[in-house]
Chain A
Amino acid sequence: ETAVFQTPNYHVTQVGNEVSFNCKQTLGHDTMYWYKQDSKKLLKIMFSYNNKQLIVNETVPRRFSPQSSDKAHLNLRIKSVEPEDSAVYLCASSTGLASSYEQYFGPGTRLTVL
């Protein structure tokens, strides 16, 4: 049963454009995440967000930014996309911020940058 929803499923865009991906969770969780999964399936955490606390992976370029309207939503904005941004972006949520909480993932948004 899907409880973490992501839109769009796919997005194709040109270098330099701005894109925004949406994520919503209906689990009542307090913490949400964005991951990048590259073509080799490697997972990289980008952001962890717990209502009042944002944890940013220091390797994430500044053109990426999370945007949250409430604890059920965490969108991802990319200003001026670059070819290396092509990947699947996975949103997840969990009860709390500690790593030992089970994470629930959405189906992902596949970004292709031409």
Chain B
Amino acid sequence: GEKVEQHESTLSVREGDSAVINCTYTDTASSYFPWYKQEAGKGLHFVIDIRSNVDRKQSQRLIVLLDKKAKRFSLHITATQPEDSAIYFCAASPDSNYQLIWGSGTKLIIKP
């Protein structure tokens, strides 16, 4: 079955710099790739997603890139701010699936 690997367990960047979180997946049938954010003591909330019919999507300071050939997708956060500090989870799924396959999470720390 599908496996999703999230490569950075912790990432520390200076406020104002960009942060990049990388994920890889194994199932070529995967076509939906969301990202969720979890702040301390809270549940997850959706931040952005990308589908396999495009290779780039942007929402304000968030950019998602998808490389289907390498089976890799990444979340870029530009001009980081303190409120970006959180754990970020990537996930993948074929459209026909009922369940997302989740990465292990990346703790993003924004240093002043």
Q: Could you list which residues of chain A lie within 8 angstroms of chain B, going by C-beta atoms? A: 4, 40-43, 45, 48, 55, 57, 90, 92, 97-100, 102-108
List the A side residues contacting B107 at CB < 8 Å: 41
Q: Decide: B89 and A43 in contact? CB cutoff 8 A.
A: yes
Please report which residues of chain B, range 56-108, place their CB below 8 angstroms from some CB of chain A when the two chains form the complex.
87, 89, 93-100, 102, 104-105, 107
Q: Decide: B98 and A98 in contact? CB cutoff 8 A.
A: yes
Given A41-B87, A43-B102; A100-B46 close (CB under 8 Å): no
The CA of A98 and the CA of B43, in the complex, are separated in Å by 20
The CA of A107 and the CA of B89, in the complex, are separated in Å by 16
Q: Decide: A99 and B97 in contact? CB cutoff 8 A.
A: yes
The CA of A4 and the CA of B102, in the complex, are separated in Å by 20
Main secondary structure of the interface of A (DSSP, over half): loop
**A-B interface pairs (CB < 8 A), number:** 61
The CA of A48 and the CA of B100, in the complex, are separated in Å by 11
Q: Decide: B98 and A107 in contact? CB cutoff 8 A.
A: no
Q: Could you list which residues of chain B lie within 8 angstroms of chain A, going by C-beta atoms? A: 32, 34, 36, 38, 41-46, 49, 51, 87, 89, 93-100, 102, 104-105, 107
Q: Which of A4, A57, A100, A104 contacts B93 (CB 8 A)?
A: A100
Q: Decide: A90 and B43 in contact? CB cutoff 8 A.
A: yes
Enumerate 18 A-B pairs (CB-CB under 8 Å) in ascending A order.
Answer: A40-B104, A41-B38, A41-B87, A41-B104, A42-B102, A42-B104, A45-B100, A90-B43, A90-B44, A97-B98, A98-B96, A98-B97, A98-B98, A99-B93, A100-B93, A103-B100, A107-B43, A108-B43
Q: Decide: B98 and A99 in contact? CB cutoff 8 A.
A: yes
Q: Tell me which of B43, B45, B98, B99 has the highest count of chain A C-beta atoms within 10 A of its own C-beta.
A: B43
Q: Which of B43, B49, B104 contacts A92 (CB 8 A)?
A: B43
Q: Tell me which of B46, B98, B102 has the highest count of chain A C-beta atoms within 10 A of its own C-beta.
A: B98
Q: Decide: A105 and B105 in contact? CB cutoff 8 A.
A: no
B32 to A: closest C-beta gap in Å: 4
Given A41-B87, A43-B89; A99-B100 close (CB under 8 Å): yes
